[in-house]
Structure 1
Amino acid sequence: MDSHLSGLISAIAQRMLADEDALVREMDAAAFELVPTLGADAAIAAEVGASNRANLRRFLTVAQHADSPPPVEVPPEALDIARTLVRRGLEFDAIFQGYRAGQQVAWQRWLEAASQVVEPGPEFAAVLEGSLALLFKYVDDVLSRVLAEAQREREEILGGALARRTETVRLILDHAPIDERTASGRLGYELSRRHTAVVLWAEARVPQGALESASELLASAAGARRPLAMVAGTSTLWVWIGTGAEPVIGDLRAAFAQTPTTIRAAVGPTERGILGFRRSHDAALGVHRLLAGHLEGERFATYAELEVTALAAHDERRAAEFVAATLGPLAADEPNAERLRESLRVFLDEADHAPRAAARLHTHRNTVLQRIARATELLGHDVGERRLALALALELAYRLGPRVLVRTT
């Protein structure tokens, strides 16, 4: 490839890189739509996003040196998600389809960027031909290595006790008929007791064993001998704490405060038996979905605290429609609307008490009142009207962010 053509492809890659966040969101959404399983669990969804971002950056780096492309290297994040999907029992086709969905989105955006860099004509056709060859080579090389790693992971898991324990947990969570005593024996965990499920995770990598250590601290605080733990992702651990009585949440919270600040916890309600094992876990996953990716959210949160919001967020598409319909212009995904939303959310949470709201927001009382007045103007009605719906929509926007907000560009 000559230097002129290479320069044009490099310019397109740089334009794409400038819009990285939006492009990754589109790639994620396409993968989740094609393979809903990838978006149904917050831990898997986060790893899909990390893999898409890492692959996009790596490809755009290759494209910026189109005249002499560097060797294709597989990003660690791409291998992480492959291992996670195998551990969760998902088929290799989910990996393949996820890559093809991302590739299609990336190519569409590449075409749009190319049209802004190169005039229509023979040169444009040559640029597209060279670009397409680079993209297909990158995806094919990475995908073949990722699938090979997934196969190695599957062969390793199929070998022993970990496979039996993982399969037993899956059977319980999938509502399969299974004898409680038999399942308890396979798990080494008594299912007839009360269970408090916890999802432990970190938004970034943590030292090996850190999540397991946190689970043991929580179990000790609950008076349990040892927890049942199952790896659910590179930085996510599913935990069940079996006890004779309901643990004191204050004790769990105090114990969790001793863990590294990068670790977070979503805690389900305490319930008995196999049904309780499953229901507590489902509730903890709901809280995890709310908090994952929201770096300013709580480190330790319980289902009891967030039950209404978690239920409303279960169907994100419906939640987004509700937020848009309820908040109107305040649902825009931009800084000014975010500032007004947060002021209004805290104001309502403080029972319309401006001085308390100002203290929480670290601003002046008059500033809060000015923002409430502007928010009221944009809503088109007094904040006291449809108060419950308004408060819920604001909480969903706060917890889920761009996932339920209206993009302005």
Structure 2
Amino acid sequence: MIDDAEVTARTHVIARRLREDEGAATAAVTDEILARIRGLDEDPVLVDMLDASVHGNVTTIIHMLANDIAIDRLQPTTAAVEYARRLAQRDVPANSLVRAYHVGQSVLLRDVYAKVDELALSTTDSMQVVRHVTDIVYEYIDWITKYVFEAYEDERRRWMGVESNVLTSTIHALLASSTPDPTHLERESRYRLDQRHCALILWSSDEDEVTVRELDRTARALAVRLRSDGEPLVTAIDRQTVWAWLPLGRRGRQLDGPDLESALDPAGHVRVAHGTPADGVDGFRRSHQQAQAAFTVATVSPDRRARHVVGYRDRGVGLVALLARDVDSTRAWVRDVLGSLAADGDAAAILRDTLGAYFATGDSHLRAAQRLNVHRNTVKYRVTKALADAPASDRLDIATALAVCDLLGPAVIGDTAP
């Protein structure tokens, strides 16, 4: 049987090996949480925040194991606390937050046990190391779970005051119901559902400068500038996101992306995703579903310089929204179809843009040249090279992959190596 000093030394070895695989460990925990807990994978922004929270917790546990840090010396990571607060704002059950920590603990301990096996200790010595590491991980999870749960509850109590003003709970109930009854929402909000609606999602491209109140004001200003048929219905979803519906009356009025582009302040930091105008309760719900799909496409690559307004009917958005639900598989498919055209860098981007313009203009070198403001022979050369570089030969697959690259950007563009 090894002594306490030897157990500690073996624990340090495990910590070093965990640090070497820290990225893989974080990804494994995040993937398992998303697979096992319903509702946490519906928003790319929340998925990114979950990954940051997991990474912060995994890093802290590794530091504890490597440096013998006592639990009373720790501070929770900002990412973990902010993720808990965001779930509270989104009305995600607290049970989902707590379960996420227990799922993560299980995945991480499986990795730890595998690394203990690699030490080739006797059964008795292995059990000593396992018990020691398990106690540390359990103690940390117990401590951090209590902390983030309190942060969740505090934020929930604070946020309920905002929700009562913007009717969030009533709107959520209507959107989620299999047999929607508009009576309660109409009574509480005085917003008529027996008309045409255009759903919007507004969010900030610069979280330090735009508040919920400013997003609310922007939604109401859009309604005025677009001459909607009355006051819009606006609800804050979290501190950076607002849902809105513009009432368009009963005359079958249409509204499209250029209308919203012209009404939105181009110098501002607010971005808008929108659905297609539709009628009645079903239209209220469907337009919002479409706005959510456009929002997903717009936020998968948040660092990409993108349009301020993204619509469900914009070219490729509806299809790419479905593909964006599984970015890893979509990225692999794009690489299979485009090969080196999916690489990062200006050369590949020029070929993608040229081939995309060629397809969009009906396979016309002349019209593509006019669109790109280059010589026709330049387009012809680039198209020939792009088609030769792409492993796939099916035009539909290639055109779809190009649309995915255009809309999802860095999320699918990068190293083409297997």
Question: Equivalent of 1:235, from 231, 240, 245?
Answer: 240
Q: Scaled by the length of structure 2, what TM-score is found?
A: 0.75
Looking at structure 2, the residues matched to 10 and 356 of structure 1 have their Cα atoms a distance apart, in angstroms, of 60
- In the superposition, relative to structure 1, how do residues 281 and 331 fare at CA in structure 2: closer, same or farther (>3 Å)? farther
SS at match of 2:313: helix
Rg larger in 1 or in 2?
2
Aligned to 2:136: 134
Aligned to 2:215: 211
Looking at structure 1, the residues matched to 373 and 25 of structure 2 have their Cα atoms a distance apart, in angstroms, of 38
Aligned to 1:221: 225
SS at match of 2:41: helix
1:104 aligns with 2:106: yes
Read off the aligned partner of 1:212 and give its amino acid letter: D
SS at match of 1:148: helix
- In the superposition, relative to structure 1, how do residues 67 and 155 fare at CA in structure 2: closer, same or farther (>3 Å)? closer
Deviations 1:295-319 (Å, cap 9, x if unpaired)? 224332111104x442354265788
Looking at structure 1, the residues matched to 162 and 240 of structure 2 have their Cα atoms a distance apart, in angstroms, of 23
- In the superposition, relative to structure 1, how do residues 79 and 337 fare at CA in structure 2: closer, same or farther (>3 Å)? closer
Deviation at 1:119, TM superposition (A): 4.0
Aligned to 1:293: 300
Looking at structure 1, the residues matched to 134 and 275 of structure 2 have their Cα atoms a distance apart, in angstroms, of 48
1:15 aligns with 2:17: no
Contact 1:319 1:404 in 2 (8 A): no
1:375 aligns with 2:383: no
Q: Scaled by the length of structure 1, what TM-score is found?
A: 0.76
Aligned to 1:266: 273
Which is worse superposed, 294-303 or 394-403? 394-403
- In the superposition, relative to structure 1, how do residues 46 and 10 fare at CA in structure 2: closer, same or farther (>3 Å)? closer
Structure 1 residues 197-346: aligned runs within 5 Å: 197-202=199-204, 205-207=207-209, 208-209=211-212, 210-224=214-228, 226-244=231-249, 245-247=253-255, 249-258=257-266, 260-261=268-269, 263-294=270-301, 295-296=303-304, 297-306=306-315, 308-311=316-319, 313-314=321-322, 328=336, 330=338, 336=343, 342-343=349-350, 345-346=352-353
Deviations 1:100-149 (Å, cap 9, x if unpaired)? 3333333445556777xx74326876655444333222222111222233
Contact 1:14 1:64 in 2 (8 A): no
Looking at structure 2, the residues matched to 111 and 340 of structure 1 have their Cα atoms a distance apart, in angstroms, of 47
Paired residues in the alignment total 392
SS at match of 1:350: helix
1:170 aligns with 2:172: yes
Deviations 1:24-75 (Å, cap 9, x if unpaired)? 4433321221023111233433432333233334434444432556633333
SS at match of 1:90: coil
Looking at structure 2, the residues matched to 151 and 257 of structure 1 have their Cα atoms a distance apart, in angstroms, of 36
Deviation at 1:274, TM superposition (A): 1.9
Read off the aligned partner of 1:305 and give its amino acid letter: D
Read off the aligned partner of 1:292 and give its amino acid letter: T
- In the superposition, relative to structure 1, how do residues 195 and 23 fare at CA in structure 2: closer, same or farther (>3 Å)? farther
Read off the aligned partner of 1:190 and give its amino acid letter: R
Deviations 1:181-231 (Å, cap 9, x if unpaired)? 542221243333432211223466334334334323433332246432223
Contact 2:294 2:321 in 1 (8 A): no
Contact 1:62 1:70 in 2 (8 A): no
- In the superposition, relative to structure 1, how do residues 96 and 339 fare at CA in structure 2: closer, same or farther (>3 Å)? farther
Deviations 1:139-177 (Å, cap 9, x if unpaired)? 221112222333444555667971892222112212354
Read off the aligned partner of 2:272 and give its amino acid letter: A
Which is worse superposed, 22-31 or 106-115? 106-115
Contact 1:24 1:52 in 2 (8 A): yes
Read off the aligned partner of 2:197 and give its amino acid letter: H
SS at match of 1:275: helix
Contact 1:266 1:288 in 2 (8 A): yes
Looking at structure 1, the residues matched to 28 and 349 of structure 2 have their Cα atoms a distance apart, in angstroms, of 26
Looking at structure 2, the residues matched to 365 and 81 of structure 1 have their Cα atoms a distance apart, in angstroms, of 47
* RMSD of aligned alpha carbons: 4.2
Identity score, percent: 19
SS at match of 1:252: helix
Looking at structure 1, the residues matched to 33 and 205 of structure 2 have their Cα atoms a distance apart, in angstroms, of 21
Looking at structure 1, the residues matched to 288 and 266 of structure 2 have their Cα atoms a distance apart, in angstroms, of 23
Structure 1 residues 85-164: aligned runs within 5 Å: 85-110=87-112, 119-121=119-121, 128-155=130-157, 162=164
Which is worse superposed, 159-168 or 128-137? 159-168
- In the superposition, relative to structure 1, how do residues 236 and 161 fare at CA in structure 2: closer, same or farther (>3 Å)? closer
Looking at structure 1, the residues matched to 111 and 225 of structure 2 have their Cα atoms a distance apart, in angstroms, of 51
